[in-house]
Structure formats: C-alpha cells, structure tokens
Amino acid sequence: MVFNWSLTNITNEVIYATVLFLWVVIVVYILSRKSYELIKSKRDERSGVYFARKVIHFLAGGVVAILVPYLFKSPLIPFILASLLTIFVYIPHKTGKLMYWFQVEENIAEVYFTIMWGILIVVGWVFDVWLGVVPILFMAWGDGITGLVRNFKYSQRTKAWEGNMAMLILCIPIGYLIYQWIGVLAAIASSIIEHFEVIDDNISVPLVSFLILLAGLYL
C-alpha cells in the first residue's frame, strides 16, 4: 500500500524528516566542507571539491535512502524532503553564490541527484519500496566510490575503469542482498553505464538499474 498513515505516523514521520534534514545540513555544511579543506590542503582545489561531493553522496543521499523503508509509511514526506533539497542546491546555481566546497559552475549534477532521489522513492514505492532505494544506493554509494577511486589515482574527474570496478564490487552485494540475481544484473549494468556519460550518471545509473529491477520483479 502506498499510503498507510495515522496521526501518530504523521507526527513520527515529521520528526524523522526533521532529524534527517538536519543530518543532511550537517553533512553539507560541516562534514563535506571539512573533507574539502583536508583534501585541498593535501592535493588541490578540484580534488577537494570532488571529494566533498562524494562525501555528500555517501553520508546524505545513501544513508537517508536506506533509512526510508524503516522510518516512513508513505513516500510523501521523503519526496517533500528531496524537493526542498533540490531547491536548496539549485538556488546557488541560479544566484551565482555557489557553495564553493562542493558546487561548480559548469555542473549541476547534485540537482539531478536530488531530483532522481525523490522520483525513485515515489515511483519505487508503488511497486516495492526497495525498488526505489536500491537504485539510489547504486547512485549514491556506487557512483560515490567510483569518484573516490578515480580522484585518488588521477587527481581529476575522469572515467577510468578502475572506478567502475570499485562500483561493481560495492553494488553487487547490495543488489544480491535485496533482489538476488536480478539485483546483481542491475549492479553490473549500472557499473557499466556509469562509464559512458551520454547523460549525467546521476540520471543514467538509477534509471537503468530501476528498469532492470522492475522488469525482474514482473518476470
């Protein structure tokens, strides 16, 4: 059932959402900035920014997503949270006042990330809540590990296969744990598609994995 609410559930979910929103703010304004400063001091500006973005992937996008099935009875409040965060990360691009430690003028990938996060939670919930969460984890943790590996090896944004191998190693257990072999197939496809940036990988990775999992659910 998509909606399963009572007054108690609503109250609890508002509290959960508030705590998670505060956690995301802490990740964005404190933890990612600290990581940016650390990596920048040891390497360079670009590496610091890239590392900070992946910290947000892991600790905000991924951690919140995996908590959603346990804390919420409906996708509505998580979707509202994602929508607020989309506005939150888009406004600096619109105004030109970027959060310099993780945003770059020529790339609005974090906006795509929050949009896809919200859409997947809602659409996935119609079929099975994990059908939305698993692709988000591939996007948040899988794509996140690719960036860390490539950044530390090449000190720049690149599409080297080493990152995709790291993504595959991380995503296969996630996919298998939730959806067995169809989850493994989705993990493999996501790890391959991430390498080819026809469209932003924050769109391609979760979309491809979602469609494979959805097909597997019915086949």
52, 84, 202, 218 from 78: Cα distances, Å = 23, 10, 18, 26
User: What is the per-residue pLDDT for 134?
Assistant: 97
Residues 96-106: what's their mean pLDDT? 92
168 Cβ contact list (under 8 Å, min separation 6): 187, 188, 191
Highest mean pLDDT among 6-15, 44-53, 101-110, 176-185: 176-185
Which two three-digit tokens encode residue 131? 């059908």
Q: By percentage, how much of the chain surpasses pLDDT 70?
A: 94
The Cβ of residue 62 has, within 10 Å, a number of other Cβ atoms equal to: 23
Distance CA 76, CA 2 (A): 9
82: nearest Cα among 59, 105, 113? 113
Per-residue pLDDT at 34 exceeds 60: yes
Residue type, 61: G
CA-derived radius of gyration, the chain? 17
User: CB-based burial of residue 72 (10 Å sphere; 0-12 exposed, 13-18 middle, 19+ buried)?
Assistant: buried
More confident call, 5 vs 69 = 69
pTM of the complete model: 0.91
Residues 126, 127, 132, 138, Cα dihedral to 10°: -170
Residues 139-164: what's their mean pLDDT? 78
Per-residue pLDDT at 207 exceeds 70: yes
* Phi, psi of 97, rounded to the nearest 5 degrees: -100, 75
Q: 3-class SS at 88?
A: helix
Which two three-digit tokens encode residue 201? 């990988």
Each residue of 106-136: pLDDT tens digit?
889 999 999 999 999 999 999 999 999 999 9
User: What is the per-residue pLDDT for 14?
Assistant: 92
31: nearest Cα among 115, 108, 102? 102
23, 81, 85, 136, 154 from 60: Cα distances, Å = 7, 12, 11, 11, 25
Q: Is the four-CA dihedral 174, 54, 195, 149 of positive or negative sign?
A: negative
